[in-house]
């Protein structure tokens, strides 16, 4: 229940759905795609992986692993590990051409998390405006 501090020091209970206001705390359903979104955010929450995503975002086309590796002062297996995390989160696609492997951003999946965060922001702005 949402509580409000009163003059006398008591917390008064605000009933559910007051005057068309936003959802009450106790009502908020657990986001069914929570784990999925946490996986996406976790994949992005690393300096190396975020930089890789930025590289892929700014590139014309897919990028060769060899070109990604040279951007970092990290061993090749470490870069390969980070690429695997991005793959497992479905944030990137890979394609093998000869000896080289090329990675590219999965824009649709990437948009999912971006729009979710924007959605939370909108909800907050809406809630703030109703005050």
Q: Which parts of this chain interact with DNA (CB under 7 A)?
A: 8-10, 42, 46, 48, 64-66, 69, 73-85, 94, 96, 98-101
Residues forming beta bridges with residue 96, ordered by sequence position: 101
**Interatomic CA distance for residues 43 and 37, integer angstroms:** 10
Specify the residue, 19 or 60, whose C-beta has the smaller distance to DNA. Answer: 60
76 binding partner (options DNA, a copy of itself, none; Cβ < 5 to 8 Å by kind):
DNA
Among 109, 106, 41, 103, CA closest to 69? 103
- State the residues that interact with a copy of itself by CB under 8 A: 1-3, 5, 9, 11, 18, 21-23, 25-26, 28, 30-31, 34-35, 37-38, 41-42, 44-47, 50-51, 53-61, 63-64, 66-68, 70-71, 97-98, 100, 102, 105, 107, 110-111, 113-114, 117-118, 120-121, 123-125, 127-128, 130-131
Specify the residue, 82 or 110, whose C-beta has the smaller distance to DNA. Answer: 82
Q: How far is the CB of 4 from DNA (least distance, A)?
A: 12
Residue 45 makes CB contacts below 8 A (sequence gap 6+) with none
124 binding partner (options a copy of itself, DNA, none; Cβ < 5 to 8 Å by kind):
a copy of itself
β-bridge pairing 3-5 and 92-97: unpaired
Residue 35 makes CB contacts below 8 A (sequence gap 6+) with none
Residue 106 makes CB contacts below 8 A (sequence gap 6+) with 90, 91, 92, 93
């Amino acid at each position: 229940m949402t509580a409000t501090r009163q003059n006398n020091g008591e917390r008064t209970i605000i009933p559910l759905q007051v005057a068309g206001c936003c959802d009450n705390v106790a009502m908020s359903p657990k986001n069914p795609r929570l784990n999925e979104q946490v996986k996406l955010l976790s994949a992005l929450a690393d300096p190396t992986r975020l930089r890789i995503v930025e590289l892929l975002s700014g590139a014309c086309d897919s990028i060769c692993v060899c070109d990604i590796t040279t951007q970092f002062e990290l061993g090749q297996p470490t870069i390969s590990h980070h690429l695997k995390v991005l793959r497992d989160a479905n944030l990137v696609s890979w394609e093998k051409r000869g000896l080289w492997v090329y990675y590219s951003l999965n824009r649709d999946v990437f948009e999912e998390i971006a729009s979710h965060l924007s959605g939370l922001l909108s909800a907050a702005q809406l809630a703030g405006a109703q005050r």
